Amino acid sequence: MILPIRAFGDPVLRKVGKDIDKDYPGLQELIDNMFETMYSANGIGLAAPQIGLDIRLFVIDVTPLAEDEDYEDIKDELAEFKKVFINARILEESGEEWKFNEGCLSIPDVREDVKRKGTIVIEYYDENFVKHTETFSDIRARVIQHEYDHIEGILFTDHLSALKKKLVKGKLTKISQGDVNIGYKMRFPK
C-alpha cells in the first residue's frame, strides 16, 4: 500500500524515533509498504517519520544508481544495495567531508549541496532482527546518513548555511502549506 509522505512542517519529522522490537505490530507489512511508497515517489530512501511514525526504521534501495555512469567503479556494490535499518545507531563518521546535492521526498523541489563525512560505521538490525555492525562509504554512506538524520528528527536543510536557509525559506513555507506540484501522495501539515 502506498502511504502519504509527510511534508516539511509536519511535527513528526522533528521527533527522535523510538526503538522498536521484533514484535512491533505489522512490521513486515510496514516495511513492504515503505518500499512501495518509496518506489512510487522515485526515491532511494525512506524513513518511518516520513510516513508519520516516530520509530527508528528506514529503508534504502540504491540499485537504480548502479546504472549511473558517475558510479561505474562501484556499480556491482550498488546493484545489490537494498536494505532495512531498524534501531540504527551511527557509531563513527570519518574521512573527508564532501558535498553532494541532496533532495528529500518530504521537501519536494528543493535540492541543495550538503557536506557529510565519507565513511560511517553503523549498528542496526535488519528486517529479521539480526544485528549488524558495518562500514559504508561513498554514495551508500551518504544515503544512510540522510535517512538516519530523519530518525534523529533532522532534515537535510538543517545542514545548510544561514544564507542558504534564508534562500529556501519561501519554498519551505509553500511546501508546508501544500502549495507544491508533486507526482506522489503527500500529507501536508494542517
Which residue ranges are tagged as binding site for Fe cation? 104, 146, 150
For residues 35 and 59, the answer to whether their CB atoms sit within 8 Å is yes
CA distance 77 to 186: 32
Count how many residues are written for the chain. 190
CA distance 46 to 32: 12
Q: Which helix (H) or strand (E) holds 122?
A: strand 107-125
* Nearest in space to 163 (alpha carbons), one of 122, 117, 123, 112: 112
Q: Which of 67, 77, 92, 147 is catalytic?
A: 147
Catalytic annotation on 147?
yes
Residues 6+ apart with CB under 8 A from 149: 155, 156, 158
In the chain, the amino acid numbered 184 is Y
CA distance 112 to 171: 12
CA distance 120 to 79: 20
Look up cell 536494505; give the residue.
83
* Nearest in space to 144 (alpha carbons), one of 85, 72, 101: 85
Give the annotated binding-site residues. Answer: 104, 146, 150
Please give the positions annotated as active site.
147
